[in-house]
Homo-oligomer: A and B are copies of this chain.
Amino acid sequence: MAELAHNSWGKTDVRLSKLRRGADEDDFIDITARVSLEGDVSFAHTAGDNAGVVPTDTMKNTIYGLAQDHLTDDLEGFASVLAGHFLEKDWIDSAEVELSARLWQRVTPTGFIGGGSELRTAGVTRSRHGTEIRAGIEGLVVLKTTGSGFAGFPHDEFTILPEADDRILATSITATWRYAQLPEDTTSAWQTARRTLVERFFGDRSESVQHQGWMMGVALLDAVPEIDQVTFRLPNQHHLPFDLARFGMDDAGIVFQPVSEPYGDIAFTITR
């Protein structure tokens, strides 16, 4: 006997941009959206009956259709509108919407420079039981040349890493926080959150990625009172000292080899 224990279906990587002409300058919003629904569509699986299967093409169209009136800098608001729309169908139990916005830096009233890896993210999950609203940041690449060490760790037969009192620390910050209460201005809350993360990454000496991240997270909870939980993922973008002594040189310890793989992968959640 087989049983359908869980199912979801949705549309991923929906790219959408919206241009708002202003008197003095244009706004340009540029997002990637993902919608995912859950509901009682077990007959679709077991019997090929699609009566409840909202096509993922319809989901895509809905995102474009509702964007015209509803997409603003308040990403959380647009995600809520979308999730609410899908939940109107009574056989849908839960709708999850994830948005990520590329950040374009304004150069002129109608001109922008892009290309950065940093994304502002927002997520809303609405079900019959309630609504969860999340926001976050992804791909915020930071590096500091001092103010970070890693020492005092346990040793075993496979440990050859030297202790380091001072090293290059680099990561690509992904942080996702949950709003216990929605801030009045989600964009301003996001900017406060971002500023806090940046200030603490560069401002606090740390003894590990974990230590650095903890201080960032505590400061984030302090800075934005509506947040009740934040999850970090902080890959360690290693810059390995390149040993020049092998070539008979005096090694000044200033030449490094950045490596993409493998990488240290640190994840944690901080709550109030």
Contacts and interface: CB of A to CB of B under 8 A. Distances in A.
Interface stretch (A72-80, A104-112, A128-136, A184-192): A104-112
Given A13-B263, A64-B244, 11 more contacts: A4-B269, A15-B261, A17-B258, A19-B254, A19-B256, A50-B150, A50-B153, A54-B154, A58-B158, A68-B255, A108-B202
Interface string A191-216: 00000001001110011111101100
A172 interface: yes
Contacts of A259: 15
A62 interface: yes
A201 to B, nearest CB: 7
Contacts of A115: 116-118, 139-141, 172
Nearest to A251: B68
Contacts of A60: 262
A221 B2 CA distance: 8
Nearest to A169: B111
Closest 8 CB pairs of A and B: A48-B207, A115-B141, A56-B264, A115-B117, A7-B268, A111-B202, A13-B261, A45-B214
A51 to B, nearest CB: 6
A267 interface: yes
Contact of A4 (B64, B248, B268): B268
A244 to B, nearest CB: 6
Interface residues of A, number: 132
Interface string A145-171: 111001111101111110000001010
A240 B231 CA distance: 36
Nearest to A151: B50
A271 B5 contact: yes
B36 A252 contact: no
Contacts of A209: 9
Contacts of A198: 107, 113
16 contacts: A2-B217, A2-B218, A2-B271, A3-B271, A5-B271, A17-B258, A51-B152, A62-B158, A68-B254, A104-B143, A110-B144, A113-B142, A114-B142, A114-B143, A116-B117, A160-B246
